[in-house]
Structure formats: C-alpha cells, structure tokens
Amino acid sequence: MDLDVTSLHHRRAVHRWERMSVGDLLERVTWSRPDKLAIVGRPGAYAAERFAAMSYRQADECANQIAHGLLARGLQRGDVVMLFCENSVEGFLAKIGIAKAGLVAAPLNPMMAPDLVEAMVELVQPKLAIVDAELWAKAAVPFAAKGITADSVITIDIGGGVLPGSTGFTDLIEGQPVTEPEVEIHADDIWEILFTSGTTALPKGVMISHACSYAAGFGFALSLTRGLRLESDIRLGTCLPLIYHVGDQPFTYSVFLCAGTLVLGRRPAPAAIAEMVTEDKITALWAGSPAMVRALDAELTARPELDGSSLTVIVYGWAALPPATLASLKRHCGEDLCVFEIFGQTECIPCHRFWPDEWPELFAATAPQLNYVGIPSPILGSTVLDPDGNDLAGQPGVAGEAVYRSPAVMAGYYRDEQATRTAFRYGWFHSGDSCAYDDDGLRIMLDRYKDIVKTGGENVSSLRVEAVLAQHPDVAKTAVVGLPHARWGEAVTAVVVLRDGASATEEDLIKHCRATPATRRRSPLCSPTTCPRPSAAKCSSTGCARYTRTTTAASTRRCSRSHASRVGTMRYFEPVEWRA
C-alpha cells in the first residue's frame, strides 16, 4: 500500500476509500439502501426480464460482472468500448461496468450517418463494441469498414437475437465475479467520450472525467428533488436518450447520489411518457424540448385516467415553454409543480436555469418568443464575451458568446488539440451560443453563433423565428436557415413540416408570423415532406441549410448526411418586405 502523508499538492486519490469513480455510484448506496430500486426499465427498455427492475445491490453486482467480463477479454485500463445502443437497463449498466473496469465508454448515436460512424470509430479506435441487436443493420457496414467484426461485438438482444459470431450480453457476465474489480481509478481519468452533434462540422469527441460526472450529478440533485420529503424519494423518469447523450450526466448520476430510483423508457413518445408518469409515480421528469412538454400536457388532458399528481419537477431545454402549457400542467400536477428550463451542452452541463415561477411576469410577457435562460447554476461561472474577449456584462441587449467555467466542464476534445485551444481561449470555455444580457442581468439565448441569419443589415435569430412558427397549430417541425440572396445578403428561410392532415399554406404561416412582434421580416418558406436531420437526429437548421443550398426548386434528392429516408419537393418563395 502506497501512502503519502507529506505532500500537500499534486496528490492522487486512487484508493477505494477515497477515490471518485462513476463506477462507485451504485456501490456506495449498497451500504445504506441495498434493496432500494436503483433502475427500472419500461417495456422495451430491457432484453431479459431479470433486468426489468434492479435494486442497488443487484445493479452493482451486475456492473461488476460486466467489468470483469470486459477485462477477461483482454481489455486494459484506458481502452475504449464503443456503444451503439438506445436506452436499456443493460446498456446503461454496461456504461457503469466500463467505468468500474477503468475503461472508456464511447457511445454513438444510432441515427448518426454511416460516414460519420466511420469517422468516430477512426477517432477513438475502440477495442470492443456493444450493440443492440435491432441496430446491428445500421452499424454493420461502417463498423466493417473500420475492422469491427462480430467477434469483437457484445450483443444486447433487444429486437433480435444475438448476432452470429458475437457474444451475448448475458454470456458476457455469466460466471463472472460480483465483487469489485481491482483497478486503479482517479477522478481526473477520462471514463466517457461523448460526441458532439456535428451540426456545424465533423463531430468531436468530448472527454468526460469521473470528477466532471460527479460535479454534474451533484449540481442537479437539489433541483430535481424539490418538493420531496426526502431526497431518496426521487423517482426520475425519462424516455430521452441517456446512453449516448449528455443527459446521462445531470439526470442519472444525480439520482444515484440521492439514493433514488431511475426509470428508463426506450424511446420518447408522449403517450409512453404520460403512462410512465402515472404507473411509476414519477416525481421528476426530464422531458427534453417544450414540444414534448406540450405533448405530455395534451396526453394528460385527453386521457383523464392518467395521473400527473406525483410530479414535482419537470425539466426542459432548448427553447421557452408557452405560459398556457405551464398553467395547464399545474392543473394536472398541482400548483407547487416546479418547472425550469436548462441551457447547456455536451461540453459543459451545469447549465443556466430559468424558473418561470421566479420571474412570472417576465415569463408571461416574453415566452415563448424570447428564450430567457436565466442565470448560471451555482457551480457555473458564466458571462457573455464579444469576439475580442471583452465582457459584455452591464451592456444589455448586446449579443455575444456565452462562455463557461465549472468543474463539470469537459477535459478537451479527444485528439484535437487545436479545437480544444480554440474552445478555451481567454480562459473560458466558448459555447458557440449567442446570448445577451437583459437590463436585470438575466441571460437571453439568441441562437447558435453560426445559425444567426444576417439579412438586410440585421441579425435574425433562427431560434426565435422557429419558436413563433412552432406555435402555429398546423406546424409539426420547423427549422430556419439563411440562404444567399441578392438583395438581403441572406434570406430568412423556414423549412416546415406540417402535422398529419394539416393544410396551412405558406401565406397562412407568413400571416401568423406577421401577427407576432418577435418576427420582423417576411421570409421565403420551404415545405419538405421530411425535415433533414444531422448526426444528432434533430430537426436542424444546419441540416436543412445543407439541403436547401444544394437543391434546385421542384427537385427531390437525398441529403448526403441526412437520416431522413426521403426529402420531398422544395417550394421557394421570394422574400418580401413587410411592415411590423
């Protein structure tokens, strides 16, 4: 045993009695609440019945078996294991087992385009891959191109059997010890590489340390347990991606740090989320977008047998919530329901927070046209800088870039020193998000820096136009881009997907925008059958711009990096000035 009782700096806490390891999150609770449910899988979110609901002791022992199984295959500390999975109990425990083994999890979004999958495999050089059976068809070609064959694959048999030549998940853990593996782990070790969405460039590998994950979890634990008698009463539910998305940092580890229960759905669908809330008595919901919150409210309204009264907290992000939706939710869940918007990203997830109940008059007057993101969390230092690194605090209304400092920030972009140096210039992490202060010091999120449309000498926020269009009852999805235009420089252009059975025309949507003060210029509209999506499978302005800039009117073709199976005919309309 190596002990150091003389050094007061440059110390490394690696002993089991002192270390900080994501792999220890479950194990620590076995000493206090071993039989408490740690993780519950909703229908479709587990392959074998034994994984449907697991106590802290069961989950920890399974994760230990995963760790031993991986090490028995010859993997060594720091080796990368790639995951190609949607939500499942097995997939989630695989990540914990990878952390226990001192390995590095590199989960991929299964909606990522094949060429990007190849690029990410090339970047991280995985020694092994864990793949859902139903997703193997998507992974097979890009994996094979980079030398990943069946004998280096672990199959989670969801939606199919074990891939011939691969090892089944249950076979991986069969006969393995349930005890903790003897591996040296330090808080600053990288245990996960998450990939950026690739909406502005090739995705980058975000290096997440054990310490970063702990800080993110602690940073959300208090917010997620509001309204509960005890923090261990938390039952957090979500159907949003947690295997490959940064949501794992604030919305799973926080639960285990409270000794609560995580309820995991396979994929997001409003009916499934509403049923999960009712049947599993969810107290905290990570809902994702305001659109999903609205859809949940619609389910609770339309189906009186559903019960939302257990909810005390709903978290959403990316855009503002309509006040009418919040009022309706409080009728379903109770007046003490606490909802708040978060604003963060893969590289830094402590997040700004905006609580409508703290600023009710502001919320009523501005949402959803203005995306107020409030103030930084207590573990997040943040301001807004201009391009020269000057602080814009005290200059309300001046757009700049949101920058961050926090213990819950990435270590860097894997194997990309230049991008890392650029991101941390002036001693801050640069988010790429355009924000401004208001008169009271609250932050307003304007847009991604590269998604600002420069038209007629003005900067137009694509997010603000999207927020207005999304309020039209016929609009299912929309993305706003800037396209080159001889007169305006760029024309604010909306790509719109209508709801099934809807009949709104471009003139209807323009009239809708004219009635909203937040939109100042009439814009050309495009109407595809399916909205192009980039590597993160979002309805994305970047994906739509990539498509519209290379497609002529009345033509139909595939976008090279789109995951939409078909993009329909584009209709173009010349931009016309109009009076506010």
Domain assignments of the chain as residue spans, ordered by start: 452-548
Q: What CATH topology corresponds to 452-548?
A: GMP Synthetase; Chain A, domain 3 (3.30.300)
Strand partners, 233: none
How far is the C-alpha of 261 from the C-alpha of 268, rounded, in Å? 19
419-468 pLDDT, tens digit each: 999 999 999 999 999 999 999 999 999 987 666 676 665 667 677 788 78
Output the pLDDT for position 364. Answer: 97
Question: What's this model's pTM, rounded to 2 decimal places?
Answer: 0.84
The two structure tokens encoding residue 482: 């800037």
Q: What is the pLDDT of residue 545?
A: 47
**Residue 435 host element (H or E):** strand 429-437
Of the CA atoms within 13 Å of residue 79, those in its CB half-sphere come to 16
**What are the structure tokens assigned to 62, written together?**
């399974």
DSSP 8-state class, residue 181: P
C-alpha–C-alpha distance, residues 514 and 523, integer Å: 10
The DSSP secondary-structure symbol of 391 reads B
Residues 6+ apart with CB under 8 A from 295: 270, 273
Q: What is the pLDDT along the chain (580 residues), one digit of tens a residue?
A: 889 999 999 999 999 999 999 999 999 999 999 999 999 999 999 999 999 999 999 999 999 999 999 999 999 999 999 999 999 999 999 999 999 999 999 999 999 999 999 999 999 999 999 999 999 999 999 999 999 999 999 999 999 999 999 999 999 999 999 999 999 999 999 999 999 976 556 899 999 999 999 999 999 999 999 999 999 999 999 999 999 999 999 999 999 999 999 999 999 999 999 999 999 999 999 999 999 999 999 999 999 999 999 999 999 998 999 999 999 999 999 999 999 999 999 999 999 999 999 999 999 999 998 999 999 999 999 999 999 999 999 999 999 999 999 999 999 999 999 999 999 999 999 999 999 999 999 999 998 766 667 666 566 767 778 878 888 888 888 888 878 776 666 788 888 888 888 888 888 888 888 777 555 444 454 444 444 443 444 444 544 544 444 433 322 222 222 222 222 222 322 333 322 2
pLDDT of amino acid 518: 54
440 is written with which tokens?
């009271």
Q: Are 277 and 237 in contact (CB under 8 A)?
A: yes
Alpha-carbon distance values, 232 to 38, 286, 507 (Å): 11, 17, 53
- pLDDT score for 543: 47
Q: What is the pLDDT of residue 199?
A: 55
> What is the per-residue pLDDT for 530?
45
- Whether the ω angle into residue 323 lies within 30 degrees of 0, i.e. cis, is no
Q: How much of the chain is in helix, strand and coil states, percent to nearest 5?
A: 30, 25, 45
Q: What is the pLDDT of residue 157?
A: 96
